[in-house]
Amino acid sequence: MKRQEAERALTAAMYTGELILECGGEVSRVEDSIKRICTAYGADRTDVFCITASIITTLYYGKGESVTQTRRIVSAGNDFDKLSRVNDLSRTIVRTCPDPSYVLERLREIQDLPSYSFRFQLLIYALISASFTVFFGGSARDAMAAGLIGILLRILERRLLKEHFNKLFTALFCSLAGGFLAFLLVHFGLGENASMISIGNIMLFIPGVKFTNSIRDLFMGETITGLICLAESILQAAVVALGFASASLIL
């Protein structure tokens, strides 16, 4: 393996790992995928260090020569369709060792796949809010009010994120707005219990998946990643609670 080949192989592996992490894959999967891909292309040894915000990999080849690349992960979400496609591609890479340029092209195609439409997201937000309101004992009118507020909160959240507001500030502002809207709809007779409505809307912003993943990472030995995700999820949950509580105290 020559240096240029090592660079191209590592670039393909890093792009794969980056996309896995951005789509919601766990850190251990990222590290394992990068190692397997580099080994398939002829690396003698691959050292990978990955946390939720960064990937650093050194590929060793030849007589002690090496190349190193890093990736900064700015944002990550949960897109299990793309994640499944990247996983299938990584297995294909290990089996067939295609040209790295082909791998990069396929990864770009996966990355450019359309996500859920905004209208569909509005529907999901409404259904989540209404369902949890009923689950926790709210009436049908409360569920309808919570669904309407869920739609408004998704519109507000999208607007704030487009303006590049901090995620914690976005969660705080949306939860504060959700609390005010719950009391407002009850005041005008569209809902019956502001607390039940707020509970349904709170569930939109509680980071349940991130919290669960943090516990899983801790049990799997990924201590740094687990603690980072745990701290982020607890902080976000506290911010959301603060927003809804502040609305009830003000009113």
Q: How far apart are CA 230 and CA 212, in angstroms?
A: 9
Among residues 127, 138, 143, 89, the alpha carbon closest in space to that of 111 is found at 89
| Cβ proximity of 41 and 1 under 8 Å | yes
Cα end-to-end span (Å), the chain: 69
The model's pTM: 0.80
| Cβ proximity of 202 and 133 under 8 Å | no
What is the residue whose two structure tokens read 């670039």? Answer: 11
List the chain pLDDT tens, one digit each, 251 residues. Answer: 788 999 999 999 999 999 999 998 888 889 999 999 999 999 999 999 998 889 999 999 988 899 999 999 887 778 888 999 999 999 999 999 999 999 999 999 999 988 888 999 999 999 999 999 999 999 999 999 999 999 999 999 999 988 888 888 999 999 999 999 999 999 888 889 999 999 999 999 988 888 888 888 888 888 888 898 899 899 999 999 999 888 877 76
